A and B are shown apart, each in its own frame.
Chain A
Amino acid sequence: MGAKAIAEAAVSSGLEAYFGYPITPSSEIMENISVLYGERKYPWFKVFLQSASEIESVNMLFGAGAAGYVSMTATSGPGLSLMAEGISYAYASEAPFLIIDVNRGGPGLGNVAPEQSDISFVLNSLGHGGVKPIVLTPHTVQESMEHVHKGFELAFTYRTPVILLTDALIVHMYDTVEWEPPYIVKPKVDWAARGRNYGQRHIINSIYLDPPELKANKERLLQKQKEIDKIAESECFMCDENLDVLYIAIGISARISKEAVLRLRENGVKAGLFRPITLSPLDKDNLLKYSSRAEKIVSVEMNEGQLAQEIMRITRRDVDVLPYLGGYIPDVEEVAEAWK
Chain B
Amino acid sequence: MEVKQFSSIYENGVTTYCPGCEHGLLLKFIGMALDELGITEKAIMVGSVGCSTLAYKFLNVDYVQAPHGRAPAIMSAIKLLEKDKVVFSIQGDGDALSIGIAELIHAANRGIPITVFMYNNMVFGMTGGQMAPTTPEGMKTTTTPFGRDIKQMGPPLDVCKVLSAFPQISYLKRVVITPKPIYTKDRIMYSSKEAMDSYKAVLNALKTQLMGGFSFVEFIGTCNVNWKMTILDSKKYVHDVGVKVYPPGLCRDAFGVDKK
Chain A contacts to B: CB under 8 angstroms: 16-17, 19, 46-47, 49, 51-53, 55-56, 59-64, 66-67, 69, 71, 85-86, 89, 93, 95, 193-198, 201-207
Closest to A57 in B: B73
Write the B49-63 contact mask toward A (1 if CB under 8 angstroms, else 0).
000010010001111
* A195 and B65 within 8 A (CB): no
- 26 A-B pairs within 8 Å (CB atoms) are namely A51-B73, A52-B103, A55-B73, A56-B73, A59-B66, A59-B73, A63-B64, A63-B76, A63-B77, A67-B44, A85-B67, A93-B65, A95-B64, A193-B62, A193-B64, A195-B42, A195-B62, A195-B82, A195-B85, A196-B60, A198-B41, A201-B61, A202-B62, A204-B64, A204-B65, A205-B47
* B65 and A59 within 8 A (CB): no
Report the minimum CB–CB distance from B128 to chain A (whole Å): 16
Chain B contacts to A: CB under 8 angstroms: 40-44, 46-47, 53, 56, 60-67, 70, 73-78, 80-82, 85, 102-103, 106
Set of chain A residues within 8 Å of B46, measured between Cβ atoms: 63
* A61 and B77 within 8 A (CB): yes
* B82 and A60 within 8 A (CB): no
* A196 and B76 within 8 A (CB): no
Set of chain B residues within 8 Å of A93, measured between Cβ atoms: 64-65
Report the minimum CB–CB distance from B58 to chain A (whole Å): 12
Closest to A65 in B: B77
> Given the known A-B contacts A63-B74, A86-B67, A86-B70, are A52 and B62 also in contact in the complex, defined by CB atoms under 8 Å?
no
Report the minimum CB–CB distance from B238 to chain A (whole Å): 29
* B74 and A66 within 8 A (CB): yes
Report the minimum CB–CB distance from B22 to chain A (whole Å): 22
B46, B62, B63, B74 pick with most chain A CB within 10 angstroms: B74
Complex Cα distance, B74 from A202, in Å, reads: 16
* B74 and A60 within 8 A (CB): yes
* A66 and B53 within 8 A (CB): no
Set of chain B residues within 8 Å of A86, measured between Cβ atoms: 67, 70
* B42 and A47 within 8 A (CB): no
* B81 and A89 within 8 A (CB): no
Q: Which of B56, B61, B76, B81 contacts A205 (CB 8 A)?
A: B56
Counting from the closest, the 6 A-B pairs by CB-CB distance are A63-B77, A59-B73, A63-B74, A60-B77, A195-B42, A52-B106
Report the minimum CB–CB distance from B13 to chain A (whole Å): 13
Closest to B83 in A: A46
Set of chain A residues within 8 Å of B62, measured between Cβ atoms: 193-196, 201-203
> Given the known A-B contacts A89-B65, A195-B41, A204-B63, are A17 and B80 also in contact in the complex, defined by CB atoms under 8 Å?
yes
* A55 and B81 within 8 A (CB): no
Set of chain B residues within 8 Å of A69, measured between Cβ atoms: 81
> Given the known A-B contacts A55-B102, A66-B64, A193-B64, are A49 and B74 also in contact in the complex, defined by CB atoms under 8 Å?
no
Complex Cα distance, B53 from A209, in Å, reads: 11
Given contacts A66-B78, A89-B67, 11 further A-B contacts (CB under 8 A): A17-B80, A59-B70, A60-B74, A62-B66, A63-B77, A66-B74, A89-B65, A193-B78, A196-B42, A196-B62, A203-B62
* B76 and A195 within 8 A (CB): no
> Given the known A-B contacts A193-B62, A196-B40, A197-B41, are A64 and B70 also in contact in the complex, defined by CB atoms under 8 Å?
no
Set of chain B residues within 8 Å of A16, measured between Cβ atoms: 81
Q: Which of A53, A194, A205 contacts B65 (CB 8 A)?
A: A205
Set of chain B residues within 8 Å of A17, measured between Cβ atoms: 77, 80-81
Complex Cα distance, B62 from A67, in Å, reads: 10
Closest to B46 in A: A63
> Given the known A-B contacts A194-B44, A195-B42, A207-B53, are A55 and B77 also in contact in the complex, defined by CB atoms under 8 Å?
no
Complex Cα distance, B73 from A64, in Å, reads: 10
Set of chain A residues within 8 Å of B76, measured between Cβ atoms: 49, 60, 63
Complex Cα distance, B106 from A203, in Å, reads: 26
Complex Cα distance, B103 from A135, in Å, reads: 28
Q: Which of B56, B61, B66 contacts A196 (CB 8 A)?
A: B61
Complex Cα distance, B62 from A104, in Å, reads: 39
> Given the known A-B contacts A49-B80, A193-B78, A195-B82, are A60 and B64 also in contact in the complex, defined by CB atoms under 8 Å?
no
* B102 and A52 within 8 A (CB): yes
Set of chain B residues within 8 Å of A49, measured between Cβ atoms: 76, 80
Closest to B80 in A: A47
* B56 and A47 within 8 A (CB): no
Set of chain B residues within 8 Å of A204, measured between Cβ atoms: 63-65
